[in-house]
Amino acid sequence: MLNVTPLSADYAPRQLELMRNTVARDCSSEEFNLFVAAARRAGLDPFRRQISAIVFSKGNAEKRRMAIITTIDGLRSIAGRSLRYRPDDQEPSFTYDAELKGPANPLGIDRVMVRVYIRDQGGNEWHPVVGVAYWSEFAPISDEWVDDERTGKRKPSGRQYLDPKSQWAKMPRLMLAKCAEAVALRRAFPEDLSGLYEASELDRAQLAEAVLPSEVVEAEATQQRLERIGAGGRTITFQFHPVEPLVQVPVGQVADRAIEAYRALDVRQKAWFESVNRAGLQEFWALSPTDALGLKTEMERLRSQESEGAA
């Protein structure tokens, strides 16, 4: 096991709140607890952006998942603490294919191979561990959408491209090599790096989470709902208990925090909660109707449960 001095377990409440509102703002309570535990175990500092969390499929409970990311330097640092790691003294080995060269692959890169070395436990023999990354699997490539003259709607043209402003377009070899090195490091040190990803490895997954042309109509509907109720922004104001102050809650945390607070209230306090947070609940519906419906259903279930118990 990696011998590191973990981050202090004694985070102040304000530190935890800041962490949750920044590097882990979309996490549920359980995901946040897992993220804090991973940061402590890795010995990386969330406040220096050495480690952060990304939540995918936030609106779909079945597909929802969290990924914990760091930089390639963070992964190297964790491996280096073992005193059994050294980098390769050779440059990454790239394979090119002229037929792949185009808007989605400016250099025609097929794949890259990176080696790292790990020393025997208690010995002096060094062994190479190889990581391979394919351009088609990691590069954040987008489908081109065009107007259909017949229907007047948007449709994919069949062509793909790479955002010319992205780091993948500016430094394609460096970005793919980081992915391959991260693969190699996880293979060499699975107990210490399992579940940790270099940020570049998730660029393609993050692109898939972006709003697609087919979702523009829903985005417009969201904006219209916000305008009707005069709301906006990524945080919503809530008061979770009569003796507690107002707090700004990131949209991704509203459902979890509201349900947690609602369960702890008695019947009269539940009525108070719904009254004082009416505007916040409306704003949440505008920003995230699926999650808001789930929250509404759970609140109704809890009210019904208490009514049956009182009877």
Q: Say yes or no to pLDDT of 226 above 60.
A: no
Helix (H, G, I), strand (E, B) or coil at 211: coil
* Model confidence, pTM: 0.62
pLDDT, position 293: 86
* Structure letter (DSSP) for residue 62: T
pLDDT, position 198: 93
Rounded to an integer, the average pLDDT of 57-79 is 88
Under the banding of pLDDT at 50, 70 and 90, the label for residue 207 is low
Rounded to an integer, the average pLDDT of 280-289 is 81
Q: Say yes or no to pLDDT of 108 above 90.
A: yes
Rounded to an integer, the average pLDDT of 16-31 is 87
Q: Say yes or no to pLDDT of 63 above 90.
A: no
Under the banding of pLDDT at 50, 70 and 90, the label for residue 8 is very low
pLDDT, position 230: 44
Q: pLDDT by residue (tens digit) across 148-203?
A: 777 777 777 778 889 888 899 999 999 999 999 999 999 999 989 988 999 999 88
Higher pLDDT, 2 or 307: 307
* CA dihedral over 249, 252, 255, 260, signed as positive or negative: negative
User: Which residues is 109 bridged to in the sheet?
Assistant: 96
Sequence spans of domains, the chain:
216-310
Distance CA 266, CA 256 (A): 18
User: Which residues is 131 bridged to in the sheet?
Assistant: 114
User: Mind spelling out the 3-state secondary structure of 106-155?
Assistant: CCCEEEEEEEEEEECCCCCCEEEEEEEEEHHHHCCEEEEEEECCCCCCEE
pLDDT, position 310: 60
Rounded to an integer, the average pLDDT of 4-31 is 75
224 sits in which H/E element: helix 216-229
Higher pLDDT, 116 or 64: 116
Q: pLDDT by residue (tens digit) across 242-279?
A: 888 888 888 888 899 999 999 999 888 998 999 888 88
Q: Say yes or no to pLDDT of 308 above 60.
A: yes
CA distances to 31, 33, 65, 203 from 56, rounded to whole Å, are 12, 17, 5, 12
Q: Say yes or no to pLDDT of 128 above 80.
A: yes
Rounded to an integer, the average pLDDT of 81-106 is 94
pLDDT, position 145: 78
pLDDT, position 10: 57
pLDDT, position 164: 87
The proportion of the chain whose per-residue pLDDT surpasses 90, expressed as a percent, equals 36
> What average pLDDT does the chain have?
83
Q: Say yes or no to pLDDT of 216 above 70.
A: no
